Amino acid sequence: MVPAGAHGKPPVVRLPCACVTDRTPEERREELVRLYHEVGDCRRCPLGATRTKAVFGMGNADADLMFVGEAPGAEEDRQGKPFVGRAGKLLDQLLGEIGMDRMRDAFIANVLKSRPPGNRDPQPEEIDACRPYLETQIGLIEPLVIATLGNFATKLLTGSQVGITRQRGRPQERELGGRPVVLYPLFHPAAALRTPKVLEQLREDFATIPALLARERERARPSALAVVAAGPDPAAEPDQLELLG
């Protein structure tokens, strides 16, 4: 199959819909792979012509935790993988300190999938063109918590102009990719590499991630009390009703 966009046509970005949550994990993974190929061929904005490799993201497609950074840097552009330089090593180290692993416990992506030349700031039209891919990823992965890394991703996803210094470490409820999620703004690891105080604060905020995930998993769990309070489903089989009796 030739993925959409392979001949220079703008690819069709399918936004998540209510039916996404009804899909099996296998179906969601298949859709994610299809999206991966679509991003690899994407020319929706001028960055498609200057990048070396698109950087789709990597990790566990069923993870409860997602990290979202700004855009690929030089090394990411070369390898086609997110957070592979020094900042990525620090991210892995901080995850390790809380007993987590990027491939097992998280999915890591960026707002932009192609590198802006010279690591310049992303332009509004590039963000508009690329954002549907991120939203579709969120809709397919179904994370409970999205940790935004740095000022840029934080302002974009929270929809607030408040800087990262004031937003860091404060979970916020939002709707993204058609689903409710908790955004958790964090300093960018690259900033922590430059400033020891920032590293200290980033480490403090990472230490809260396991408890935040546990809380959100508990909230996401269907409550037995809620099932009883809702009363018996008239369409339910009799043996199911007996379980509530």
> How far apart (Å, rounded) are the C-alpha atoms in residues 19 and 106?
23
Report the residue number, 34 or 215, with the smaller CB distance to ligand SF4. Answer: 34
CB-nearer residue toward ligand SF4: 2 or 226: 2
Residue listed under structure tokens 């979202």: 68
**5 contacts 43 by C-beta, under 8 angstroms:** yes
Contacts of 127 (CB under 8 A, 6+ apart): 111, 112, 156
d(CA 148, CA 158): 9
Q: What is the DSSP string of 177-200?
A: TTEEEEEEEE--HHHHHH-HHHHH
**CB closer to ligand SF4 out of 54 and 182:** 54
Nearer to ligand SF4, 31 or 126 (CB): 126
Quick one: how many helices (H) and strands (E) in the chain?
Answer: 13, 6
Q: In whole angstroms, how close is the CB of 149 to ligand SF4 at the nearest point?
A: 17
Binding site for ligand SF4 (CB under 6 A): 39, 42-45, 47-48, 54, 112-114, 126, 129-130
C-beta closer to ligand SF4: residue 48 or 150: 48
CB of 92 to ligand SF4, least distance (A): 25
Residue 173 near residue 137, CB atoms below 8 Å: no
CB-based contact 39:133 (threshold 8 Å) = yes
Tokens of 149: 């890394």
Q: How far is the CB of 130 from ligand SF4 (least distance, A)?
A: 3
Q: Which residue number, 45 or 145, has a Cβ lying nearer to ligand SF4?
A: 45
Min separation Cβ 237 and ligand SF4, Å = 48
Closest to ligand SF4 by CB, 50 or 165: 50
To ligand SF4, the closest distance from the beta carbon of 112 in angstroms equals 5
Q: Which residues have CB under 8 Å from 132's CB, separation 6+?
A: 13, 15
User: Shortest distance, CB of residue 137 to ligand SF4, whole angstroms?
Assistant: 12
Smallest separation, CB 30 to ligand SF4 (Å): 20
Which residue in 183, 99, 35 sits closest to 27, CA to CA?
35
